[in-house]
Structure 1
Amino acid sequence: MKYVSRWLPCIIWMGVIYYLSSQTGDDLGGWLDTIQLWIPFMKGFDWGHFVSYFVLALLYAWGLGINRLTLWKKIFVVLLCTLYGITDEFHQSFVPNRTPDVMDLRNDAIGATLAMLFVTIPAVRKCFERSSGVKYY
């Protein structure tokens, strides 16, 4: 039961990503366009992919429940996220008005990498250690 409770949030979040990838380009609407109006220099950057994979990386790290999240384990989490991003882009190739895009995969990897850098901040690391029992080094 311990493993289920650790991995359930990750699996649910992967389902959310899959659901959003199943939406046609028209269904997603223009909320990202609104964000890009606020931050015009980020026009080519897809915030949806970035945020989705930032959260996914944090959930993977929490789900692994490793005693110490070393550099190699952080790289492993980023690789897991990138692998899921590849499957996500493949899935999008079957959705009307959606196409696979290498730039989306780049944004996925950036989000996952920054999440692993985020957990190295001492205050964040302590919060994660308290909630998961994992040591982030």
Structure 2
Amino acid sequence: MRRHNRTRFFYWWPVIVLCALIFVQSGFSTPRVVPVIDFGDKLLHIAAYALLATLFFRAYRNTGKLSRSPLLLIVLSILSSTLYGLTDEIHQSFVSVRHADVLDLVADGVGSILGSLAYHQVVIVHRNVFRRISWIDKIMNFL
């Protein structure tokens, strides 16, 4: 495998794995994780899609020419993860005992926004502060 392809694979496989995990979880007739608080399922959606948006941001930032435009990275990662949330809701509408829920999609969008903005802040802090400390720089370059 060429170096360029290995780099792409390294940054995109977490996105693919998380999308697959979300797809599998959505395919169960009854959810495997049952929230114990009201709107707990929405918090799970926010967390999952915040992570997905972060992974999209990381992949786009490190595998293309998009890294020059932070706004484009943010918008693209939000759109990518939220659109995946839409496909997830459509998928759930075909699963027995499950249904598509607009509030789930809203939670997916909120999570996508939070994840993208949070990761962008990590990138800014890394660029402005931690680059001076070599061992932290190595960790952040891995992220």
Q: What do residues 58-77 of structure 1 show as CA deviations (whole Å, max 9, x unaligned)?
A: 11111111434512220111
Q: Bigger radius of gyration, 1 or 2?
A: 2
> Tell me, what secondary structure is at the counterpart of 1:14?
helix
Cα distance, 1:121 vs. partner?
3.1
Partner of 1:106: 106
Q: Which has the higher contact order (CA 8 A, sep 6+)?
A: 1
Partner of 1:8: 13
Query: 1:53-92 residue pairs with structure 2 within 5 A?
Result: 53-64=49-60, 65=62, 66-68=66-68, 70-92=70-92
Structure 1, unaligned runs of 5 or more: 133-137
Give the length in aligned residue pairs.
Answer: 123
TM-score with structure 2 length normalisation?
0.75
Q: Identity of aligned pairs, percent?
A: 28
Quote the RMSD (CA, aligned, Å).
2.3
Does residue 43 of structure 2 align to residue 52 of structure 1? Answer: no
Do the aligned partners of 2:57 and 2:119 also contact (CA within 8 Å) in 1?
Answer: no
Cα distance in 2 for partners of 1:68, 1:60 equals 16
Cα distance, 1:28 vs. partner?
2.3
Runs of 4+ in 1 over 6 A off after TM superposition: none
Cα distance, 1:125 vs. partner?
4.4
State the AA in 1 paired with 2:12: W
TM-score with structure 1 length normalisation?
0.78
Structure 2, unaligned runs of 5 or more: 1-5, 127-136
Question: Which structure: greater helix fraction?
Answer: 2
